[in-house]
Amino acid sequence: MALEFTTSYIVDSLAVFRSYKQLAERAMQQVTDRQLFVTLDAESNSIAIIVKHVAGNMRSRWTHFLTTDGEKPDRNRDSEFVDPPPTRAGLMAAWEDGWSRLFAAIEPLTDADLARTVTIRGEAHSVMQAINRQLAHYPHHVGQIVLLAKHLASDHWQSLSVPRNASAEFNRRVAAGETSQR
């Protein structure tokens, strides 16, 4: 995951967020438009619902991140779990909007900003705590997206990391400098 050595929490956090964004996108590319909306059972969320929820969370958390509560008064969390955008394009537009807000909020920060105070649901958090909260939340949902996509793509699934039974070849290629470790 680490593409470059850094001791900057901000730089590293951004790299981790970008890595998980890309992981989810690579998984979603492997399913059909219809499969984005499939649920495994009545209690499960589809990829589309998960994307809608993550995008809604990002809009709320990262809009005016330093100056307003991270739980915006106009957010209706419950509505994030019904009626996702009906097309892949609409879904991906919401996804990109959320990520754009996250990157726009974090990229200008410096490590000196980490001790600043922000609020989420009326509770004080340091900027670092607020970032960590989302670094725990979003990968959880990315894992759900990957699991669903892998299940739905089935025999057509292309590994997002080292393919099953290919570790020895991967390690040989890394040692030979033919690929990066990721």
Per-residue pLDDT tens over the stretch 3-31: 678 889 999 999 999 999 999 999 999 99
**Crossing angle (nearest 10°) for helices 127-153 and 47-62:** 170
Distance CA 34, CA 153 (A): 12
Residue 17 lies inside a defined structural domain of this protein: yes
Q: Closest Cα partner for 95 from 2, 22, 15, 13?
A: 22
The answer to whether position 80 is within a domain reads yes
Q: Would residue 1 count as lying in a domain?
A: no
Whether residue 180 is contained in a domain is answered as: no
Per DSSP (E only), the strands in the chain are: 117-120, 123-126
Identify the CATH number of the domain in which residue 40 sits.
1.20.120.450
Domain that holds residue 33: 9-175
**Per-residue model confidence as pLDDT tens digits over 121-149:** 999 999 999 999 999 999 999 999 999 99
- Domains contained in the chain, number: 1
Q: Does any domain span residue 50?
A: yes
- Under DSSP, is residue 116 helix (H, G, I), strand (E, B) or coil? coil
Residue 181 lies in a domain: no
179 vs 122 pLDDT, higher one: 122
Distance CA 63, CA 85 (A): 21
